[in-house]
Amino acid sequence: MIVRPRPTLFTVLFALRGSVLPRVAPTVVGLTAFSMVVVAAEQRWPWAFPVTAGAGPFTLIGLALSIFLSFRNNACYDRWWEARKAWGLLIVETRGLARTIPALLPEAGYEPLRRACLLRVVAFSAGLHAYLRGGDEAKAAGLWLPRTEAAELAASPSPSDAALKLILADLTHAFRAGALTDVLFVMLEKKIADLSTIHTTCERIRNTPVPFAYTLLVYRTAWLYCLFLPVGLSGSLGWATPPAVALVTYTFFGLDALGDELEEPFGTEPNDLPMDAMLRTVERTVIDALGGPLPPAVEPDRYWLR
């Protein structure tokens, strides 16, 4: 995710980090060159362009297209924001467990149990992070667990969910040993259920993209609109047509490219969520509760927080 101060005029004009311009530049250049060919042909062979539509029809079509684009981008942003809220809730639940488990199990004899439970929270978060970014879920989660438990997670269809099962098994053991009352056990079990809800929410976002037919309709219409635009404007604007086409193309295809980035919020594009930074927050929270040396927080690299 791009993190930078309020842009100045120079930044607005020349900033590339976080901009979609590099992605849409070939399309903008190609359609601008096509519009220059259309203008040159119209001036060289005016008899071939007996009718000039003007800007009227393109204004109406452009308005409809912009509404479609805004609907798609709103849907993509909703996915991005829901994913951010889910990971924000994961951090909240981790902080709650890091405070609650040591407070409810303060006895020295339960120190291994406290440590195991909290490390499994990190294992769950690391596994979910790897799954959402297409990595090795079992390997990422197993780095925080003993070798035998890591092998158990690797054999599970969902290693992240298996880590939650291990936490619940530990809490059940403490409950049966009399270290937790039924009220405290239910309270902690609810937090584990909340982590499972976060897991399911992220799976739903990752595995349910915006309907392809809707994306195809917008993309196809934008191409047709930008291809016919210079034909309609060349007679009235002349050589001012290519800059106008370049601006419209950048706007429409830039919005489409931005929607593509927001549609997959767990990816590695500049405008995707800072998953590495949020996972490091979870790690630092648990390590601090266990009294270990804190790893450094993830900082933006040239305004890019990964």
| 73 within some domain | yes
| 302 within some domain | no
- What is the spatial distance between Cα 202 and Cα 191, in angstroms, rounded to a whole number? 17
| 20 within some domain | no
- What is the spatial distance between Cα 230 and Cα 35, in angstroms, rounded to a whole number? 5
Helices (H), 208-240: 212-237
CA 229 to chain CA mean position, Å: 33
Long-range pairs, 237-245, Cβ under 8 A, ≥24: 238/39, 238/43, 239/39, 241/35, 241/38, 241/39, 242/32, 242/35, 242/36, 242/39, 243/32, 245/31, 245/32, 245/35
| 180 within some domain | yes
Report the range of poorest mean pLDDT among 61-75, 134-148, 172-186, 191-205.
Answer: 61-75
pLDDT in the model for residue 85 = 93
Helix axes 56-104, 241-263, angle to 10 degrees: 30
Q: What is the DSSP string of 8-38?
A: -HHHHHH--TT-SHHHHHHHHHHHHHHHHHH
**Residue 45 or 159, more confident:** 159
The number of folded domains in the chain is 1
pLDDT in the model for residue 6 = 61
- What is the spatial distance between Cα 40 and Cα 289, in angstroms, rounded to a whole number? 71
Strand partners, 301: 304
Q: How many CB atoms lie within 10 A of CB 80?
A: 21
| Predicted TM-score of the model (pTM) | 0.84
| 14 within some domain | no
pLDDT in the model for residue 61 = 67
**Residue 25 or 63, more confident:** 25
Structure tokens at 112: 């291994």
- What is the spatial distance between Cα 294 and Cα 45, in angstroms, rounded to a whole number? 73
| 126 within some domain | yes
| 283 within some domain | yes
Query: Which residue, among 297, 276, 252, 280, has the nearest Cα to 1 in the 3D structure?
Result: 276
pLDDT in the model for residue 74 = 85
Q: Domain span at residue 282? A: 27-44+53-290
- Could you read off the pLDDT of 224-270 as tens digits, one per residue? 888 888 877 777 777 788 888 888 888 888 888 888 888 888 888 87
| 301 within some domain | no
Q: How many CB atoms lie within 10 A of CB 182?
A: 8
